[in-house]
Amino acid sequence: MEQEEIMKYLGIHFDSRLLFYKHIEQVAEKSRALTYMLNRTTKLHWGLGHKSLKTVYEGAIVPLTSYGAPVWEGEITKQKYLQNMHSAQRLINIKIAKAYGTISFGAYHV
């Protein structure tokens, strides 16, 4: 019988070394997918307003990205994990701020 490398329990991906990279990767990808769906309804000068987008962010993306955080929060301090989450968050923050894609992360952080 082979030992599994990754196990999903209550929506959190556990690996054999408790590094949670797969979980953080999945969360970031789901967040990006939601943002790409919103791209159809919002552009820089038309579409959903920033208040509506912030409501979607707070109601859908924040709960998605923070689910089970007490379990895996210690690993998010690693640079590659943090960069993965920042890249996903950057997409929705640009939409909320109605900014151009060239803006820096620190300038629009919600």
Bridge partners (DSSP) listed for residue 61: none
Instruction: Write the DSSP assignment of 43-55 as a string of letters.
Output: -SSSBS-HHHHHH
Range of the domain at 76: 6-108
pTM for this predicted structure: 0.74
DSSP-derived 3-state class of residue 41: coil
The pLDDT mean for the chain works out to 81
Q: Is the pLDDT of residue 97 over 80?
A: no
Query: Residue 1 falls within a domain, yes or no?
Result: no
Query: Residue 73 falls within a domain, yes or no?
Result: yes
Number of domains in the chain: 1
DSSP-derived 3-state class of residue 28: helix
pLDDT tens for 55-93 read 888 888 889 888 988 888 888 888 888 888 888 888 888
